[in-house]
Amino acid sequence: MKIAEGCGQATDGAMANCLRQARAIGMDTDYQLLLSRDLHFIEPNIYQTLQDQLVEVRRMLSGLMKAMPV
């Protein structure tokens, strides 16, 4: 959602800010997944699948951030 919000912004700086916020949300999600696994709300195999997907999204986000003009 933050990435879509950033695409609607008029400046590259605003887009970069939204990408940083998306990265922070990814870190929050990482913690929530870990906590859910540790509290046995989700099975370890489901945790691993979601964790792998989150890592891939974070890689793509990092690539997008690197491609942004400074």
| Model pTM score | 0.78
**Residue 44 CA neighbour count, 13 Å, CB half:** 0
Distance CA 60, CA 11 (A): 21
CATH number of 2-67: 1.20.1440.60
Q: Where are the domains of the chain?
A: 2-67
Binned at pLDDT 50, 70 and 90, residue 57 comes out as: very high
Q: What is the pLDDT of residue 5?
A: 65
Euclidean distance between the first and the last CA atom of the chain, given in angstroms as a whole number:
22
Q: What is the pLDDT of residue 14?
A: 82
Distance CA 22, CA 28 (A): 10
Distance CA 41, CA 12 (A): 40
pLDDT tens column, 3-47: 766 666 667 788 888 888 888 999 999 999 999 999 999 999 999
